Amino acid sequence: GLVNHVVSHLIQAIRSKDGSFSSIERLGAGSYYERVKVSEPNEFDIMLLMPVKRLQLDESDDTGAYYYLTFKRNPKEKCLLKFLDEDGKLSAHKMLHALREIIKQEVKNIKNVEVTVKRKKAGSPAITLQIKNPPAEISVDIILTLEVQQSWPPSTRDGLKIEQWLGRKVRGDFRNKSLYLVAKQNKKEKVPRGNTWRLSFSHIEKAMLNNHGSSKTCCESDGPKCCRKGCLKLLKYLLEQLKMKYTKELEKFCSYHVKTAFFHSCVMWPDDTDWHSGDLEHCFQRYLGYFLDCLQKSQLPHFFIPQYNLLSLEDKASNDFLLRQINSQLNNGFPIFQE
């Protein structure tokens, strides 16, 4: 309720303050909205969607995930032209900066609740708010997202292999949805100029998690229950706890690694009978086994962009570290779950 109050206030203000942002809409993304949150609901991701008609996408590296954006002739969105850099590329940095300034001014006007804007984290696509909610704090990541109505780029062609799991029709429906791009700095750029955007599939991930069965009734109130989400929550919790213990060594890892491995597991074991609710332990071990295999090989393909490896070999040391920690938990009956 508190988060909704704050975000609704901000969205109204953002729409009225700057014509460029007059058409933004909100979309809840991330684990809270996918109903796979494992600890207190104290972290929220809110995407601010900004509709854009057509853009030209040019790959900024070989991952197939990062792009430079330019407008095709005479864009409808004249108000965005002030965010172009000297090469005519749409600058993520300029847009985020403008949005951040509006939010910084506006949080002062929110009544009966103390909200602050956290310092900018280098390369992060998020503007992070801290909401005082005694005795705790709530953190809200606001993520500027372009919603582009055009077909997905070629790098996604062989991704989203869900035909056996959710069906060919569902895959087609997903691929007809808009393209999302978030203002994310590409670390591989020789000269980081803050004008790269990364593809985001949050809207599709949320849909897959909320309708995850090969049969339409899986986990509905009167349908058969499966343990897919239970497995995902367990591995998310395991990683969260290990990250708290070994913050420095595991800083490269985030729940997205676990979620990607989860989607691949759903494809490898596509039937609801592969995930009987009574078989949680067995299913978790199998999914964990796949994740350990990925760590071992330093190879975890992005679910939507198969050429993009989320566990690069240059991070082999941290991949090996996580592999050792999880194996040690596994061999000792997961003491971390008892703590």
* pLDDT reported for residue 44: 85
Burial class (CB in 10 A: 0-12, 13-18, 19+), 42: middle
pTM: 0.92
Alpha helices in 167-314 (DSSP H): 168-175, 202-210, 228-245, 255-268, 280-297
**In the numeric block, which tokens belong to residue 44?**
């929220």
* pLDDT reported for residue 63: 93
Return d(Cα 73, Cα 125) in angstroms, integer.
27
Count H helices and E strands in the chain, helices first.
10, 9
Residue 56 vs residues 36, 53, 75, 216, 264: alpha-carbon distances, Å: 35, 11, 11, 37, 30
Return d(Cα 303, Cα 264) in angstroms, integer.
7
The candidate with the shortest Cα–Cα distance to 27, out of 147, 199, 118, 117, is 147
Give phi and psi for 143, each to the nearest 5: -120, 115
Give the CA dihedral 217, 221, 226, 228, nearest 10 degrees: 90
* pLDDT tens, the chain, 339 aa long: 888 888 899 999 999 887 889 889 988 766 666 666 776 668 888 889 999 988 999 999 899 999 999 998 777 778 888 999 998 999 998 999 999 999 999 999 988 888 989 888 877 788 999 998 777 888 899 999 999 999 999 999 999 999 999 999 999 999 999 999 998 877 776 666 678 999 999 999 999 999 999 988 899 888 899 999 999 999 999 999 999 999 999 999 999 999 999 999 999 999 999 999 999 999 999 999 999 999 999 999 999 999 999 998 889 999 999 999 999 999 999 999 887
Contact 240, 259 (CB under 8 A): no
* pLDDT reported for residue 74: 73
Domains and CATH numbers, the chain: 2-202 (3.30.460.90), 215-337 (1.10.1410.40)
Return d(Cα 61, Cα 219) in angstroms, integer.
41
